[in-house]
Amino acid sequence: MHESHFGLIEPPASTPAPKAFRSLGREEEGSVVEGRKVRVLVRTRTRKYVGDLFVPATRKSVLEMVNDDRRRFVNLTNVLIDETQRIKFISLNKRLIESIAPQTSYHLTLD
């Protein structure tokens, strides 16, 4: 991973994308974490991201997850950047996020 001049951490193009989240959960240290994916719109000062945010079953809402002080980054999969660039994964530093909201008008599938 590397840091871009926008302060974002994203995998280099040669790095394979992480395993996709399962519909009921994702693997974490040998176990499956139950939860759901929520399509969100994330705005930073310079970019707009639409992607899937995994919300564990232990969290009631996107807001509760984003406000978790133990996590410094928001991880998105199946991402559309500025309505033009598509990537499978990005991790955004929460300090750079100006707003985040559930999004229903975008649908994107990466093959």
pLDDT given for residue 62 in this prediction: 84
Residue 25 has pLDDT above 90, yes or no: no
Q: Sketch the domain layout of the chain as residue ranges.
A: 2-102
3-state secondary structure of 22: coil
- What is the average pLDDT value for the chain, to the nearest integer? 76
Residue 66 — pLDDT band, cuts 50, 70, 90?
confident
Rounded Cα gap, residues 63 and 100, in angstroms: 8
Residue 73 has pLDDT above 90, yes or no: yes
pLDDT given for residue 44 in this prediction: 95
CATH number of 2-102, picked from 3.40.50.1370, 3.40.1210.10, 3.30.465.10, 2.30.30.100: 2.30.30.100
Rounded Cα gap, residues 97 and 45, in angstroms: 8
Cα separations in angstroms, 67 against 18, 35, 82, 109: 24, 17, 24, 28
The answer to whether the predicted template modeling score (pTM) of the entire model surpasses 0.75 is no
